[in-house]
Amino acid sequence: MVQRVVTVGSASGLHARPARLFVKAAAAEPVAVTLTVAGKRPAKAASMLGVLALGALQGTEVTLTAEDGTGGKAAVDRLAALLATDLDAVDDAAVEALLTEAVAPDA
């Protein structure tokens, strides 16, 4: 298992636009990734309802987990970078650049 703890950077937390962008990136990853917030059940990172149900506010620590092996570490690293970014504060072009970077396969 690959795990990484990251702090939610978006001003609105993992809600609305940031959640949509994160779920879009997670769904494009070649491996399943789960999110865990203390005291809550794990959620599939590619599930909008699951991610919203976590209720992660700005500053909340979230644990991302993926299976080790084919792309697990890279997927967790890319999604962690998105979570740490304030997606509320960047324009659409910057978000698209982040998403492209987030789902780009390893070189």
Q: Which residues are catalytic?
A: 15
- Give the DSSP letter of residue 55: -
Q: How far apart, in whole angstroms, are the C-alpha atoms of residue 75 and residue 103?
A: 8
As a whole number of angstroms, the distance between CA 27 and CA 18 comes to 14
Distance (Å, whole) CA 31 – CA 18:
21
